[in-house]
Amino acid sequence: MPEPLPASKRSDADEGRAARYAALETAAPTLDESALRRQTRRSVLTGGAASLVALLGWRWLQTGPDDNNIPVTLRRGHEFNEALWRRLSGRTAPTFDRSRSSMLRVNGRHGIGDEIDLVAWELTVLGPDGSEWGRHVLADITALPKVELTVEHKCVEGWSHVVTWGGARFSDFAALYADRLGSESTDYVALVTPDRGYYVGLDMASMLNPQSLLAYELEGEPLTQDHGAPLRLATPNKYGIKCIKRIGTIQFTNDRPTDYWYERGYDWYAQL
Ligand SMILES: Nc1nc2c(c(=O)[nH]1)N[C@H]1C(S)=C(S)[C@@H](COP(=O)(O)O)O[C@H]1N2
Ligand SMILES: [Mo]
């Protein structure tokens, strides 16, 4: 059994975090809880995504990786929402009843060979020029709305397994940076282990898919180190190679990030 993760790494961090939350609340309208409660699940997703895109701005919409005819479509106001929804969510992978899921095998230890001190762990967020946008303890992620998803995890090696992830939507996390994302051009997200031994890159649309999670639980338990504690990526729309375990750094970037398995001959997009 993993040790329970501490709510924060040090007690004086609480004050700093409270101040950050106060600042974030004004920066992140999609996190307004009373507004969220008033909406249906579907419209929460649509509304959250739409607010984020409004903040991300037109440039991102028009220059994204799969925007074929979107600028044309966007000239027509009544088709705006549909285009936005397609653009942002992509496909939705099937979900399963929780009873069908069971513990995942451990597969791949690049960048996680040694155990880390989970208390000392921090998530660093960088902007396109490499400057630091923020730092997070796990409590910052668990404070976001929690999502549980029972989905099929598929590995390029040819096996798949139905599993239940628990975590925060990446889109909710990105909304914490809505102001900065609105003024910078960021088509991609690069995620790297603390030792830089494993790294993945995903396009922004795939990351903003509501099924793309920053996961801290597997089968209802905190992640073990082997499965990527304290925080990993989980998305049923990409092969397992993209589901990086033990995220240390998240960089918003305009250049397509390199990727551990892309460099070794696999498809960069790795879409399912
Ligand atoms: N840091 C890191 N993350 C990783 C890997 C890895 O080697 N190192 N392997 C990937 C692959 S190929 C798969 S299938 C999944 C497996 O996740 P699991 O070990 O929790 O089953 O993790 C992915 N994330
Ligand atoms: Mo995999």
The CB-side HSE value for 226 (13 A sphere, CA atoms) comes to 7
pLDDT at 19: 55
Nearest CA to ligand 1 atom 13: 240
Q: Which residue has the tokens 């990409």?
A: 238
Cis? peptide before 230, omega within 30° of 0: yes
CA gap 214, 192 in Å, rounded: 13
Atom of ligand 1 nearest to the CA of 155: 14
Buried b (16+ CB within 10 A) or exposed e, 110-124: ebbeeebebeebebb
Q: Verify that 81 and 194 share a domain, yes or no.
A: yes
Cα 16 → chain centroid: 24
Distance 257 CA to ligand 2 centre (A): 19
Using alpha carbons only, what angle is made at residue 134 by residues 129 and 135, rounded to the nearest 5 degrees?
Answer: 130
Domain assignment present for residue 10? The answer is yes
Domain assignment present for residue 272? The answer is no
Q: Verify that 108 and 2 share a domain, yes or no.
A: no
Using alpha carbons only, what angle is made at residue 35 by residues 31 and 36, rounded to the nearest 5 degrees?
Answer: 65
Domain of 92, CATH number, reads 3.90.420.10
Domain that holds residue 141: 67-264
Distance 154 CA to ligand 2 centre (A): 7
Q: Verify that 196 and 81 share a domain, yes or no.
A: yes
Contact between 111 and 193 (Cβ < 8 Å)? yes
pLDDT at 185: 80
pLDDT at 271: 87
Q: Nearest ligand, CA of residue 158? A: 2
Q: Which residue has the tokens 């975590």?
A: 167
Please say which residue of 63, 92, 115 terminates a domain.
63
The tokens for 123 are: 């998530």
Q: Verify that 56 and 84 share a domain, yes or no.
A: no
Please say which residue of 63, 83, 100 terminates a domain.
63
Q: Which of 243, 259, 263, 266 to mutate to test the pocket of ligand 1 (most atoms within 8 A of CB)?
A: 243
Pocket of ligand 1 (CB under 6 A): 104-112, 155, 193, 198, 227, 240-241, 243-246
Distance 70 CA to ligand 1 centre (A): 34
Ranges of the chain with pLDDT below 70:
1-90
pLDDT for 82-97, tens place per residue? 445 555 556 789 999 9
Distance 106 CA to ligand 2 centre (A): 10
Beta bridge partners of 151: 163
User: How much is the mean pLDDT over the chain?
Assistant: 80
